[in-house]
Chain A
């Protein structure tokens, strides 16, 4: 029997928990391939879900991490496009069959292994997601909702008390719910995938808390952070209102209820569905919503109004505010439709469990999903939540080891005394650090590492489990100081061993400063939720808590100001006041004069009513306005409403908009905006002369793969003479390194507009390092090796220049001893609202990675909304509806090398280094690229004007490559390929690293060294060559921030010229060299980091660096 299959099927925990890497380390290529065959057979035949899933993850890890390390695996190979196409459509089984057939026919290769790894991983997560989905549907109490396919079958009725009008007004049912705080950090053990396989290890200490945002000395008292309201209305619609998001919709069709991303009301819609008011089974039913509402309310022409409100708690708090609101809405709607025993007050235990199960359903419907502890706020006080082993009779029995729903045990006062609870409140400072992060990839990493039982991570999980026991014991003993020490250790050791990306530079900086400020009185740090940087806790000696709250606010604000160009922040950091909520979710019925919605509701809705002729207002609306008037005079909660109404009716934003417009104009003129060129591009875009589809080369272009002899293979050891030649050149000062740092790294932060080059992305050499620091450390090492410090240039743009200059100054140039120059950009573009034609082309005609079922549905709905947005904003018009810097764009890295000529940096370099002959130009994210003497020697010896480095393609390498286009060997951009599948016929991917002989490049521009002082001549030369370069229209994501930590992402249109196209010029003598993947790969997205760290890439980069 296969050794890996025996690990998966072992009954004894010791063997079952054995790691994959232990076996793979010593196995040969052949042994691994034989194991892969056995695992493939096994996963097809096994009836056990978790055995299948673990086999899939083993297969993924072998192909992703272990096979590529084994000698003898072919690197150059082609991946069948049809398999890739299946992968995009999530047809994983078919993709795997095709890739395995290709592997069988052409032999194993790095390329096919990369494709198989992607397919196995996708299928593994799909299988797990399908199982959770099935369990969510099958939970008792949820099943009936999937069977209701017609309004006539709907079994629910609105509670009679809600129909009893008083003075013509319906009563208002109000629900208020605390949020949950994870008291232990559970090592993410509440993730469904983990909890359902390892229920013994899935344990969480969870407290329900009230919150308020601290503001000076008169902070409002903490209160339940989420509220929801419901009442009947005399209109056959479902009216949804989000007070905090300022959004309202009157829904009259069933289809719209299921359209989640159409507006900001997706969470309310998910609540309506998951509570069974519009059951999920009704999706796709053609009947009118009014029919359903009539059945529910018992009166034709009536409808329901649902209002949600988050009390000033910013997004990303890591306190599960969204899930708590969802649970709050579900509880409210269940009460209103008679699905609970009591209309008001607390819920019973079985009802809470049902609300929790439906909140999971609601999250799944909305395409999101946290862990099972997130709806903990509906329970009171402090509780232990733990996974449950599936037993006979459970729907999960025989499928997974654990049940979907955990069990909750609320601690009574005997176990955790009153004094301990108050001491915890007196000691803990809760904050929101302000960082914006996507926790999704972390949850996938946790699952993957658990299933692989990666050695270090598995040990860390055991350590976290032991710490958990100690935290529970300390809580029972009332020892808060000990809890602080334990949560601190938990964060700094096991949590960051399991996921190094749970921590970050910002959090480390905060912890260090707090430690320095408070010494022994700082008892420990406490990470909340998926990762640090947003919601966090700091435990202090109670005596210093008020001071600590103030100091933390200062420290966070100051650190944020220092780092905001390098780290994505969504908001200004805040400190909370908090209190443990001892009653859980709670409802009240407001009747008679009390039957009003919250004040924020009226600030939003009254202006609409005031626009209606008074005689057209319904009597109930008139009655409500009159009661509101009385409340404004007498009720303190409504006292500030009149001012808010005036602010809304007469908005002050016009001034701010005018200010923004002026500052945008100033930026445009400062950074070299070419208005004539912009208008030309705008006109061409609108007329359809340019666009995404027009980026492509003519369909008749002949595009062929490179022949083996046409590139130099530098993945093998090169002749020693090249290295000697390179070292001599380095010693003479003949080379300068140019790192392209003008781009904003849209994919790195999803359009947050921070400087990727400065992002402290990973702990290397003992601490977090930025991209720039890594590049300088490599140059430092090369300079020391050759005996001459290497000249290094960082190109910049309007967005990156000042932050980079400031950082280099603050960090004392990272101690770099060689000449270091900044080369500022000379041209900037203004973004445009995209053409709907281009959006449709990108989203409908280009192959797209489909998402899991429900998430894909939400994405489709969002895209429809964005197409509508582009139409409303005016297709092709200037994009100015954002912070000014977010409206500008760099115009592509083609200009970054000519900028050296235009801005005088090359002239300065030549003056300082008269022997300078060569440039090594590389992207900021190509971390493995260094001034390798052998490659420099190769470039010199071969005598080309330019040598471009390429790497053997893997499935994730998208965006063109090396090709013979109409007879000429050149780099070709993915945007320019007439058909997607052509890329899959190209063996090599462009690493964007080029070696340039300066004089030959000047020759191409019609210049000599002596011309570099002639600004006009240089500018004209650059313009002439630029005109020969293709202009690409691209879509980029840009974030727009608003409210309390909210971010919307919009697709905007911009134009770019790209450096690789220089190789298309016939007079340029371009050569191509194949380098190793470790050297040539690029880090484009944070989700790549974990793989990059695990596959030896990070260690390779560290080996190239001298940090000090």
Chain B
């Protein structure tokens, strides 16, 4: 058996290989986009909702409030990226209970790709938000000696993101496969149910961590604004005294 869907190759053109990861990714993407399109095609602003729209609204609103809670900012600019991370990972993990479906998140290539996306998104949002100078200054805080540690931290958390998700999903499917060999009745079902839970939890963790990293990168401006506010307060009090 294959540990990762990367190893299930359908077509091989040398470097370019059409493996199960890509196929099921596309399948999942198709499902997501088609489902969204079908639901939002007949979207209405009245209170007369279709159940699908209701579900989508609950989902989007829930993600929005989560992002707002973490970033303490207007969530709209982060929603497409962070929301898609959550939805994609969650749907992949949930679909892993479907027979013959191999979750793309069980492949280190996919999780690494997602982690790299987060790794790029952090400076992208940070620079857009606070400017390149403020963003880069964060690496030498609290003093320049910390620069290497900050860079290592940045890299290691990206690695941790990728490996955590991969490890969890891969181990889940591995356990099911092993249990299937040992005790083919009942136990795999229980483990699948557990897998659903861990899958959702992992999706949530991945998205929340991504949001936390992005938010901490744009924290500089908030700190600066806070510092300016404090100093003006101090000046005011001095003037008063």
Say if A and B assemble together.
no
